[in-house]
Chains A and B, each alone.
Chain A
């Protein structure tokens, strides 16, 4: 059987969990209305002793028009989608790897040590022997109560004593015993019918004789035999008539009893078959493939009429599903084949797990192992899987679980870290989908934050709140959300901030605004204040940039650098009076003036002299300044200005 068939069969037997009461609860049924409207259940009529079992009704969601999962014995079959590892059940889809019950069982399995106890070894050995014996019995003479059947039954009761068996062997043994008992009961009824038929035949014969006497067709012969009968002839005739009537009534009674016995035998046989088949199906569902295989082979031994057809509606979806899964009609033989192939597939799966672990392919090994455990938890190859392999897979599985929970928590930063760890453990692990998903969600969140920032600048508080909410919903731990929170606080405090801002502008303390620009950017909501805010930030930014450049220049040329810096600062101060209001500008101006002391003193003297019309001295001082810094604009302009005055003057 190919792997695809194996996977289809997984869907048929749905991890066999459906037959367990806690399965539905364990799946963690999602919210939403259950689409399954009707269910088919076992309906039994105890009065008639008949039992009508309907298997395979289809549930259809009238609104969506989707066919729900088929049912067996009134229970919905979970369908596995191998492409996504999801199981469809009860109107919802569940990830096999993220299913609470499967997860719990798998984790329990990973934490367990292989069962290598003496009892376990003895159990497994006995099971192997029974499997061989049942295979052998298939070739031997089939007879109810044969030695082989007795040995199989005893073997099953022996297996039942091992606690790990869970009473499955006992159930199968009981089913076998029950079927055998029915067979014996039918034999007994058959013998009784034979006896009754013989009695009927005798009665018919006697009745025919008496009838002949009454009608005289046998009188002559009678007279020759008994002469004294002539006198009593009328009385004898009456007596015969009563006897004939009695015999006729008894014959009818016996005939009815015989018919009833036949009907009882047929009904008991059918019921026995159904019970046996149910036991085999139940074992398949419970993933007890060894037991199912034994049961299927014993079935043919117990019921010798050759009828192995499952009591299933041939047109039902379940029957069709069974056929499509196995390619065979729904028979006990098909179940035997199914169980046998499941065992084979699980063994191969476990071999693949071992090989993948040797190649460090932890992701694939984990996926294969969880499928093997989910399908064949009780198989020997699964139960004896070494502890070292379990530990490695448990480590990887733990990361996978953490990734799922982190994804649920929408902590994409942490999720990327986990993906990186998984990639480090298994180089073949495909983390591209995970990382792409994280990157996309983070980008979405950041995009909303950007929109929020835009809204804030535009003064649209409603949009700002909306965008912040969206960003937080997508990525709650987005580090940029803190900035949004701070901006929210600013909005709340914007009235006082506006007042403070206006005061600072009035005092021309632009550097304070610049130093606390994050605090004051909220005033940008007001168009007028926005311009003032931008101007203040631009001004101080320009001053700081210029001062940084001048510092570098002054350090590179300690002679003329300070002169150049001083002159540039003075010029800028003349151009824009706001420069002179800046403390850092003033401090730099004083610093450079001190460094270029001779130059600044010459310029100052020149200006003083010029104001007193001492043009000779003024010109001489400008010359002095020009000597110290030949590119001085101020000195050059002063020389030009006074030269013109002097040359036009009269002496």
Chain B
């Protein structure tokens, strides 16, 4: 189960004429928040459903989005203190999702292959050693045992 956490955008009402519309949008947001109620939220930010098919298609579109994922670790690769885990999501064992686990985000959680955890992730872009873009990487922000 994954929920998207929306980033807040300041929308200043400059035109009173469209206040009604804003109200409508606000009602929709509320309704959506009601439907996609997060199971567990480390922060108060909202979360949305995660589709690995969409991710495979174009991860850049998801940049900035945060998700809560319950997943099973299938493989772990590491260079230095950085780790990249390949996880499988429930009911989708034929897919693997790569997650970058920066050093220190796991606290006392010991990531082991074959075990399932709750990952709080955010899709981000980065830079490689040459300063070139590294797009659409799911970066783990927090890990919890299930």
Using Cβ atoms and an 8 Å threshold, which residues of chain B touch A605? Answer: 56-57
B100 interface residue (CB < 8 Å to A): yes
**Nearest-neighbor residue (CB-CB) of B81 within chain A:** A647
Provide the bound-state CA to CA distance between A293 and B109, in Å. Answer: 136
Contact mask for chain B residues 67-79; partner A; CB cutoff 8 A; 1 contact, 0 none = 0000000000111
Q: How far apart are B49's CB and chain A's nearest CB, in angstroms? A: 17
A272 interface residue (CB < 8 Å to B): no
Asked if residues A651 and B139 are in contact (CB atoms below 8 Å), the reply is yes
8 A Cβ contacts from A1-20 to B = none
Provide the bound-state CA to CA distance between A613 and B136, in Å. Answer: 9
Q: How far apart are A327's CB and chain B's nearest CB, in angstroms? A: 112
Asked if residues B135 and A615 are in contact (CB atoms below 8 Å), the reply is yes
B104 interface residue (CB < 8 Å to A): no
The listed residue (A614, A623, A624, A643) touching B136 by CB distance below 8 A is: A614
Q: How large is the interface on A (under 10, 10 to 19, 20 to 34, 35 or more residues)?
A: 20 to 34
A626 interface residue (CB < 8 Å to B): yes
A620 interface residue (CB < 8 Å to B): yes
8 A Cβ contacts from B36-60 to A = 52, 55-60
Using Cβ atoms and an 8 Å threshold, which residues of chain B touch A646? Answer: 84, 98, 100, 134, 137
Q: How far apart are A538's CB and chain B's nearest CB, in angstroms? A: 41
Asked if residues A614 and B127 are in contact (CB atoms below 8 Å), the reply is no
Asked if residues B95 and A647 are in contact (CB atoms below 8 Å), the reply is no
The listed residue (A612, A627, A648) touching B129 by CB distance below 8 A is: A648
Asked if residues A624 and B134 are in contact (CB atoms below 8 Å), the reply is no
Asked if residues B77 and A647 are in contact (CB atoms below 8 Å), the reply is yes
Using Cβ atoms and an 8 Å threshold, which residues of chain A touch B97? Answer: 620, 623
Provide the bound-state CA to CA distance between A621 and B94, in Å. Answer: 11
Provide the bound-state CA to CA distance between A623 and B88, in Å. Answer: 10
The listed residue (B55, B79, B83) touching A617 by CB distance below 8 A is: B55
Please give the number of chain B residues whose Cβ is less than 8 angstroms from any Cβ of chain A in the complex: 37
Asked if residues B59 and A651 are in contact (CB atoms below 8 Å), the reply is no
**Nearest-neighbor residue (CB-CB) of B57 within chain A:** A617
Using Cβ atoms and an 8 Å threshold, which residues of chain B touch A647? Answer: 77-80, 82-84, 100
Q: How far apart are A598's CB and chain B's nearest CB, in angstroms? A: 9
The listed residue (B78, B129, B132, B137) touching A616 by CB distance below 8 A is: B137
Q: How far apart are A636's CB and chain B's nearest CB, in angstroms? A: 12
Asked if residues A615 and B134 are in contact (CB atoms below 8 Å), the reply is yes
Asked if residues A613 and B135 are in contact (CB atoms below 8 Å), the reply is yes
Using Cβ atoms and an 8 Å threshold, which residues of chain A touch B139? Answer: 651
User: A620 and B84 in contact (CB under 8 A), knowing A613-B135, A649-B137?
Assistant: no
**Nearest-neighbor residue (CB-CB) of A598 within chain B:** B94
User: A615 and B84 in contact (CB under 8 A), knowing A620-B56, A645-B128, A651-B100?
Assistant: no
Most buried by A among B86, B127, B135: B135
Asked if residues A623 and B134 are in contact (CB atoms below 8 Å), the reply is no
A644 interface residue (CB < 8 Å to B): yes
Most buried by B among A609, A623, A644, A645: A623
Provide the bound-state CA to CA distance between A647 and B52, in Å. Answer: 21
A220 interface residue (CB < 8 Å to B): no
Using Cβ atoms and an 8 Å threshold, which residues of chain B touch A613? Answer: 132-135
Asked if residues B98 and A623 are in contact (CB atoms below 8 Å), the reply is yes
Asked if residues A649 and B95 are in contact (CB atoms below 8 Å), the reply is no
Using Cβ atoms and an 8 Å threshold, which residues of chain A touch B58? Answer: 614, 617
A96 interface residue (CB < 8 Å to B): no
Using Cβ atoms and an 8 Å threshold, which residues of chain A touch B59? Answer: 609, 614, 616-617, 620
Asked if residues A616 and B96 are in contact (CB atoms below 8 Å), the reply is no
Asked if residues A651 and B96 are in contact (CB atoms below 8 Å), the reply is no
Using Cβ atoms and an 8 Å threshold, which residues of chain A touch B135? Answer: 612-616
B16 interface residue (CB < 8 Å to A): no
Q: How far apart are A600's CB and chain B's nearest CB, in angstroms? A: 15
A650 interface residue (CB < 8 Å to B): yes
Q: How far apart are B52's CB and chain A's nearest CB, in angstroms? A: 7
A619 interface residue (CB < 8 Å to B): yes
Asked if residues B98 and A651 are in contact (CB atoms below 8 Å), the reply is no
8 A Cβ contacts from A599-651 to B = 605, 609, 612-617, 619-621, 623-624, 626-628, 643-651
Asked if residues B136 and A627 are in contact (CB atoms below 8 Å), the reply is no
User: A627 and B96 in contact (CB under 8 A), knowing A620-B52, A647-B84?
Assistant: yes
Provide the bound-state CA to CA distance between A643 and B100, in Å. Answer: 9
The listed residue (B82, B95, B124) touching A623 by CB distance below 8 A is: B95
Provide the bound-state CA to CA distance between A614 and B82, in Å. Answer: 19
Using Cβ atoms and an 8 Å threshold, which residues of chain B touch A619? Answer: 98
Using Cβ atoms and an 8 Å threshold, which residues of chain B touch A614? Answer: 58-60, 135-136
Q: How far apart are B8's CB and chain A's nearest CB, in angstroms? A: 21
The listed residue (B57, B94, B98, B134) touching A649 by CB distance below 8 A is: B134
Provide the bound-state CA to CA distance between A291 and B42, in Å. Answer: 144
Asked if residues B128 and A649 are in contact (CB atoms below 8 Å), the reply is yes
Q: How far apart are B106's CB and chain A's nearest CB, in angstroms? A: 16
Using Cβ atoms and an 8 Å threshold, which residues of chain A touch B138? Answer: 616
Asked if residues B126 and A626 are in contact (CB atoms below 8 Å), the reply is no
Provide the bound-state CA to CA distance between A644 and B55, in Å. Answer: 20
Provide the bound-state CA to CA distance between A435 and B86, in Å. Answer: 78
B2 interface residue (CB < 8 Å to A): no
B123 interface residue (CB < 8 Å to A): yes
Provide the bound-state CA to CA distance between A614 and B133, in Å. Answer: 8
Q: How far apart are B141's CB and chain A's nearest CB, in angstroms? A: 11
User: A643 and B84 in contact (CB under 8 A), knowing A617-B55, A620-B98?
Assistant: yes
Provide the bound-state CA to CA distance between A620 and B57, in Å. Answer: 9
Q: How far apart are A440's CB and chain B's nearest CB, in angstroms? A: 71
Using Cβ atoms and an 8 Å threshold, which residues of chain A touch B134? Answer: 613, 615, 645-646, 649, 651
**Nearest-neighbor residue (CB-CB) of B128 within chain A:** A649
**Nearest-neighbor residue (CB-CB) of B83 within chain A:** A647
Q: How far apart are A175's CB and chain B's nearest CB, in angstroms? A: 123
Using Cβ atoms and an 8 Å threshold, which residues of chain B touch A645? Answer: 128, 134
**Nearest-neighbor residue (CB-CB) of B58 within chain A:** A617
Provide the bound-state CA to CA distance between A9 and B131, in Å. Answer: 121
Provide the bound-state CA to CA distance between A646 and B137, in Å. Answer: 8
Provide the bound-state CA to CA distance between A616 and B98, in Å. Answer: 7
Provide the bound-state CA to CA distance between A624 and B57, in Å. Answer: 12
Asked if residues B56 and A617 are in contact (CB atoms below 8 Å), the reply is yes
The listed residue (A609, A612, A624, A650) touching B96 by CB distance below 8 A is: A624
Asked if residues B55 and A643 are in contact (CB atoms below 8 Å), the reply is no
Provide the bound-state CA to CA distance between A614 and B97, in Å. Answer: 14
8 new A-B contacts, CB < 8 A, other than A626-B96, A646-B100, A651-B102, are A616-B137, A624-B94, A646-B137, A647-B79, A647-B80, A649-B129, A650-B127, A651-B124
Closest 4 CB pairs of A and B: A623-B96, A616-B136, A651-B126, A616-B59
A-B contact pairs, 6 of them (CB 8 A): A615-B134, A623-B98, A643-B98, A644-B79, A646-B134, A647-B82
Task: Spell out B's residues near A (CB within 8 Å).
Answer: 52, 55-60, 77-80, 82-84, 86, 94-98, 100, 102, 123-129, 132-139
Task: Spell out A's residues near B (CB within 8 Å).
Answer: 605, 609, 612-617, 619-621, 623-624, 626-628, 643-651
